[in-house]
Each structure stands twice: as C-alpha cells, then as structure tokens.
A and B are shown apart, each in its own frame.
Chain A
Amino acid sequence: MSEAILSVRNLRVVFPHRHGVLVPIDDISFDVKKGEIIGFVGESGAGKSMTGAAIIGLIDPPGYIEQGEIWLKNERIDQLDISAANRIRGRRISMVFQDPLTSLNPLRTIGDQLVETILTHLPVSADEAKRKAIAGLEEVDIDPERFNAYPHEFSGGMRQRVVIALALSAEPELIIADEPTTALDVSVQAQVLELLKKLCREHGASVILITHDMGVIAETTDRVAVLYAGRLAEIGDTQTLLRDPQHPYTKGLIASTPSVEYGDISTELFQITGAMPRLDALPDGCAFHPRCGQALAHCATKRPHMERNRVACWLYNDV
C-alpha cells in the first residue's frame, strides 16, 4: 500500500486575466498510493476540481500549470502534448464527473460509447471490445440487454454507474471522481459510492474522491486532504484526521457537519464565520486567518507551510 502511483509536487495553477492573475491552486503537494482512496474536501472554489483537472490535463484555457510537477509512477505528465495526454486519459487516469445526466452523449447508445472508449485504448477486436463492454455493464449492475439503450432511458444513478463503467473500461490505475454523487438522490448516493469503492478495490485502482461532504469522506476514504482557497490546509489518515483535527479550518469543517443520530436533534450546528475569500482578494499570510479564532499575530503576514507534519498552520509550526 505504500507505493505512490501519483505524485504531485508544488503544483501551482494560474489563470491570467485582465487585471493580473488568479491562483486557484497554490503550492499543493501530495501523493496517491496504490489502491487507496484519497478524499479532497473543501468549499466551492477551494481548488478541489481544479486539482483533478490539472492531473488529467484538462484545465480550461487560459489557465495553465505555472509551477510544479505531476508524476504518474515514473512518467512526468504535467506538460504532455495532446496525443501523449490522450494515451493517459481514460487509459491510466479516468475521470467521473458530477452530473451523470450530462456526462454522456445523448445521441449515442451507452454500448457505443463504451466500445468506443475500449477500442481507443486497448488493442482488441471489435467483438472483444463488445464483450468487455458488456462485462463492464454487468459489473455496475446494468442489465447487458440495455447495451443499445440511450442515456435518457436511464435514471441518474444508473447513468452514473454507466459513467463508472466507462471510467473503468480501460483498467486505469487512478480514477478522479469529481463530486460523483452530489447530483444524485441521497438514497442512491451511498449505493454509487459503495459500488465505486468496491470496483476500485477489485481492479486495484486508486481513487481521488472530490467532495464537499464530510460524511462521504468519513465513510469512503483512507486519507483526506483539506483544501482552503487553493492551498492545502491539512492532510492525513481519515480516521486520525476526523478524530483529532488540527487545522482550525478542519475543526470548523467537522464541527459544522450535521450528524443524524437518534435523539440528537437539539445541538445547533457550528458555523465558521465569514466566507472563503475570493481568489482576487486573498489576504496576506494564512488565507484562513481572518476567519480563524486562534489566529496569532504573524498569521496575517507570513504564510504557513506544511513541513514534516500534516498541517499548514502556525499553531503547529515554528516561525
């Protein structure tokens, strides 16, 4: 479990615009180990999805990776041309998007889209590709009879299962699941997550699970990275981090997660005051300090970095 299949080092993504540059991802480093599920959690705009887009090489222009490196095993993948990138996308790294209703081409059958992906990446015959596609559908509990059905003939949960089958169809090593259950009914969410977890274990694929839902993190992931304003606030084993959060933001995030336990409806939810700063108005020093109850004097001037520990906060690092 210790071998890192993906290493991200000091990643910095910038978006130039008329009045300067926005930095949606600033100096993020992390590893993804083989077979693990790592969660990325944070508010909207914290840089979760952008990190996923950077890894798979689909940052929308004019954004680009200004600094840092992304390594897939022994291959550097952050500066690939399009044909080299296409040999990795779908083949070695796949992606599952938030909205299954719009992820599939409405005018083509799901079987067609599966076969297309398999034929693009694997050296197999058309018949073999079809067999693989049907096997893939069976794995996600879709009746193979519906091979020739169109996306609109499926429910949201089923479509997301088809998307998962598509993502897994070329046996990738890593799947980036960008809020895969946010658009689904609560009752279906657990089902889809469970399926994703099970299949990735079976196929030995690692997962980067992007979510804003602490509950999903707790149930699904092995490790978790907390992002705030494009920076990594804290990273660590899910159990340890949930039991003993260190960064004040992580603490706030956990405290503000509602828990549904029998008889426990009286406790009022904790709120982190204020809102995450806009990318064009980031404060100096620690991005979280204006909202932080434990801020020290130098929090406003010096930016904390993650050193040997797992948290970027002056409470735990020496100046």
Chain B
Amino acid sequence: MLLIILRRLGQSVFVLFLVAFVSFMMFRYVGNPVDNLLGQEATVEQREALIEALGLNDPLHTQYLGFVTRALQFDFGNSYRGAQPVADMILERLPATLELALVSAIFAMLFGVIAGVYTAIFRNGFSAHLIMSTSLIGVSLPTFLIGVLLIWLFAVELGWLPSFGRGETVQIGFWSTSLLTVSGLKSMVLPAITLGLYQMTLIMRLVRAEMLEILRQDFIRFARARGLPERVVYFGHALKNTLVPVITVAGLQLGSIVAFAIITETVFQWPGVGLMFINAVFFVDIPVMSAYLLLVGTLFVVINLIVDLLYLAIDPRIRDGQLKRQST
C-alpha cells in the first residue's frame, strides 16, 4: 500500500518536472525576453547587462534548474505588463478561480450522480426520458452560449442575479472568499452553473451507463435473491461499484473545469486566473502564461494523484493486485 503511494508520488514529481520543462521552454524561447523587457530602443550595453542578469548565457540545464528552483519558491518573475511579480498576481486571483471551480464541481457531482442513479433506476419512466433528452442540451451547447443565455434570462430579464463580477469578498489571511457574503453567493450561481453544466450531464450519463451495466451483474441478481431491499441493492451494492470509472472521469473533469474556467471567467468578468491568462495572451505576457501553464499542470497532476489514491480506497482488488505485482 505504502509502496503504491510512494510510486505514484514519484511519477507525479516526474510529470511535474516535464510540465515545468515545457513551461520553461515557453518562458525562454517564445519571443525574446530581452526585447520584451527593454523594448526596441535599448542600447547593446543594456541588453548585454540584462542577458547577464537573467542568466540567459548559462547552459540550458542550468537555466532550467534555476527556473525550477525559483518556481519552487513561487518566483515566476515579473509580469511584462505592470512589472508586478507573477506569483502575487496568481495568489491574488487564484482563490476566485478555485472557489468557482469547487462550487461548480460539487454542483456537477451532486446533481450528476443523483440524476444518473435516478435515470438508471427508472430507465423507462417519463421523467427519466425527459432528463436524458434535456441533458443533450448540456452536452451540445458551448459553454459561452450557456453563460450568455443564463445572463439574459436571470440577470437581464428576471433581474434576480448579478451578471458579472464576484460580489463582495471577505479576506481570510491571503485568501479572499466570496462564499461568506450574500452578494458573493449570488454572483457565484450563474458562473458555477455555466461551468458545471457540461460536467454534470457528462457525469450523469456516465453514472447512468455504469449503473445499468452493474445492475445486470450476477451479484445484483444474487443480492435480490437474498431478499435485500431495493434501496440496499441500488445504493449499498450498485452505486459503489459504479464509482471507480466515475471518479476517474470526474477527477479529469475537475481539472478541465479549472481549464475551461477561462471561458466562463471571460463571459462573467470573473476576476480569476482564467481571465488573467486571457489578458496575458492579448499582451503576450509570457511569464504570466508560463506560470499559468505550470499551475494548471500541477493541478492536473495533483488531481490525478488523488484519483489514484481514491481507487485504492474504493476497490480492494486494485490494492491487492498492485501489492502482488510489487512483491514478485
């Protein structure tokens, strides 16, 4: 067990170094940092001095190691625009994105699993058919369109919810949260639904398909033959067996929720890292972009690690299978 965890950790670290390498290459070779920093008018002496100061004459691996060392200390250099440290910019905006991602992930998981189980159990019922057809909308409509439609309906026509921004925030240490104020929560609703809708329908369809598959298994038949109540058959026996594939997809989707947040944040002018990234692209702000890449990469790796560990918690066969392979 411990061995598996250690091995997974090792793999994660390796992947992170790769991500850091791509991020570094981007930082170093997309555009010329010296031109970007000094502009066209700089003298040759100024350029030489800056190149020396940035260490651009050092061998590549030295530069890479330096990049990684600085990244480990949250030093991603300064933004080309505004000359603010990138780490500060991210830290300031990350809570907004993480809160949005978290809320929409919970929304997607909760409703996705409930609707999936429901449509699997009552697969021939009218409401199950209705949910399934409606879910096609969630799968097929692009995120920005859903966002705009929601704004039109709930913010413009009905005037119930704000159409942009984060509302009031409360500062807890470095973390600014909008989950503790009424206006913050109201502002959260539309972006969270926009961001989570696709994931919700995806999870729902997956849970339904898995559940239908599991319900055909012999052990479900045997559970019924043992006289276990339907509730126990569905939730005690079927649901847990659907979780391994669901967690895989849900985990990956959580990563893409953060990645897709770029679009949602743009539509709702949500002050998160996604919006920051889009602005950075406009101005070719390479340090910001490469730091964002590193951040999203790290997030994916961490989520994958958690998913792998969850497998072990859920399925005893994976625990043992791995252990046997380890010992031989």
Which residue numbers of A lie inside 8 Å of B, CB to CB? 56, 58, 82-83, 85-91, 94-95, 97, 99, 102-108, 116-117, 120-121, 150, 152-153, 163, 166-167, 170
Contacts and interface: CB of A to CB of B under 8 A. Distances in A.
A105 B221 contact: no
B227 A97 contact: no
Residue among B219, B241, B315 facing the most chain A CB atoms (10 A cut-off):
B219
A166 B218 contact: no
A58 B221 contact: yes
A166 B219 contact: no
Nearest to A169: B226
B145 to A, nearest CB: 40
Contacts of A87: 227
Interface of B: 217-219, 221-230, 232, 236-237, 240-241, 314-317, 320
Contacts of A86: 227-229
A117 B241 contact: no
A120 B228 contact: yes
Contacts of B230: 82
Contact of A117 (B226, B240, B315): B226
Given A102-B219, A105-B223, A120 B229 contact: yes
Contacts of B222: 95, 97, 103-104, 163, 166
Closest 9 CB pairs of A and B: A90-B227, A89-B227, A90-B226, A95-B225, A102-B218, A150-B316, A103-B222, A86-B227, A105-B219
Contact of B225 (A82, A94, A108): A94
A99 to B, nearest CB: 6
Given A90-B228, A120-B227, A97 B320 contact: no
Given A150-B317, A152-B317, A99 B218 contact: yes
Given A88-B227, A97-B222, 10 more contacts: A58-B221, A85-B227, A86-B227, A86-B228, A94-B225, A99-B218, A105-B237, A152-B320, A153-B320, A166-B222
Contacts of A150: 316-317, 320
B224 to A, nearest CB: 6
A116 B218 contact: no
A103 B225 CA distance: 11
Contacts of A56: 225
19 contacts: A58-B221, A83-B229, A89-B226, A90-B225, A90-B228, A97-B218, A97-B221, A103-B219, A104-B222, A105-B219, A106-B317, A107-B314, A108-B240, A116-B228, A116-B232, A117-B226, A120-B228, A120-B229, A150-B316
A91 B227 contact: yes
Contact of B316 (A94, A107, A117): A107
A106 B219 contact: yes
Nearest to B316: A150
Contacts of B228: 86, 90, 116-117, 120
A166 B228 CA distance: 12
A97 B220 CA distance: 12
Given A102-B219, A103-B218, A58 B317 contact: no
Nearest to B319: A150
B9 to A, nearest CB: 25
A166 B226 contact: yes
Contacts of A95: 222, 225
Contacts of B316: 106-107, 150, 152
A167 B236 CA distance: 19
Nearest to B237: A105
A2 B236 CA distance: 41
